[in-house]
């Protein structure tokens, strides 16, 4: 279930507000899925965020067993295809001030050579308000738990709404993540030699 929930939340990056998305991911990582099962469908309906057929199945599979309202899930607007995100990405901070220097050092120390982790990359999201730093990590196991861990690290370093995208190896990535990866730079690598995000 946590894999299904994690994939759904991953696919909602760039569509849900950052302040909600990190909290939903924290709940998924800490087994507060019953709370997520009530909150996420309501948020999708309130903010009129549509889902593809595949995402609708993920939503039902992940949350109905934990008490989500089936009628709320079936009322979420359907999409034929994912909309354009409206964001652009850059490997460098647009203001050349890297609030991420300390984050890069800490993430490197935390994830370098770590089992289950491939590449750790950084990208800056532009458009829709203040530039936001995204951390993109490939993982072979425990993606939801790793997301929660890294969000807590970044919050301790001062990022109020951390944007952490832990990408399970082999996942067909949404356009948002493909665009972010295309404009990213390497922070460090874990122990998984085949966990490359960007072809070399």
User: pLDDT tens for residues 117-169?
Assistant: 999 999 999 987 888 999 999 999 999 999 999 999 999 999 999 999 999 98
Beta bridge partners of 126: 88
Give the pair of three-digit tokens for residue 57.
């199945």
pLDDT in tens, 81-117: 887 878 999 998 877 555 557 888 899 899 999 999 9
Q: Which residues contact 37 (CB under 8 A, 6 or more apart)?
A: 63, 64, 66, 67, 68
Which residue in 96, 120, 92 sits closest to 108, CA to CA? 120
More confident residue, 39 or 192: 39
Residue 170: pLDDT above 90?
Answer: no
Average pLDDT over residues 8-24: 95
Sole residue written with tokens 């008490």: 67
| pLDDT mean across residues, the chain | 89
What 8-state DSSP symbol labels residue 5? H
For 86, counting Cβ atoms within 10 Å of its Cβ (0-12 exposed, 13-18 middle, 19+ buried), the class is: exposed
Q: What is the pLDDT of residue 96?
A: 57
Contacts of 151 (CB under 8 A, 6+ apart): 22, 25, 26, 29, 162, 164
């Amino acid at each position: 279930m946590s894999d299904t929930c994690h994939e759904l939340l991953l696919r909602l990056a760039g569509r849900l507000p950052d302040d909600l998305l990190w909290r939903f991911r924290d709940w998924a990582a800490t087994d507060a899925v019953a709370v997520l099962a009530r909150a996420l469908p309501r948020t999708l309906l309130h903010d009129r965020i549509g889902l593809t057929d595949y995402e609708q199945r993920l939503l039902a599979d992940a949350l109905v067993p934990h008490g989500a309202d089936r009628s709320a899930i079936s009322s979420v607007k359907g999409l034929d295809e994912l909309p354009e995100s409206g964001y652009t990405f850059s490997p460098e901070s647009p203001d050349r001030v890297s609030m991420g220097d300390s984050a890069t050092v800490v993430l490197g120390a935390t994830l370098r050579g770590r089992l289950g982790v491939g590449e750790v990359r950084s990208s800056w999201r532009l458009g829709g308000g203040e530039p936001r730093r995204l951390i993109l990590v490939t993982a072979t196991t425990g993606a939801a738990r790793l997301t929660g861990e890294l969000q807590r690290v970044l919050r301790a370093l001062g990022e109020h709404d951390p944007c952490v995208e832990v990408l399970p190896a082999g996942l067909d990535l949404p356009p948002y993540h493909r665009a972010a990866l295309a404009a990213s730079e390497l922070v460090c690598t874990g122990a998984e030699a085949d966990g490359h995000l960007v072809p070399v």
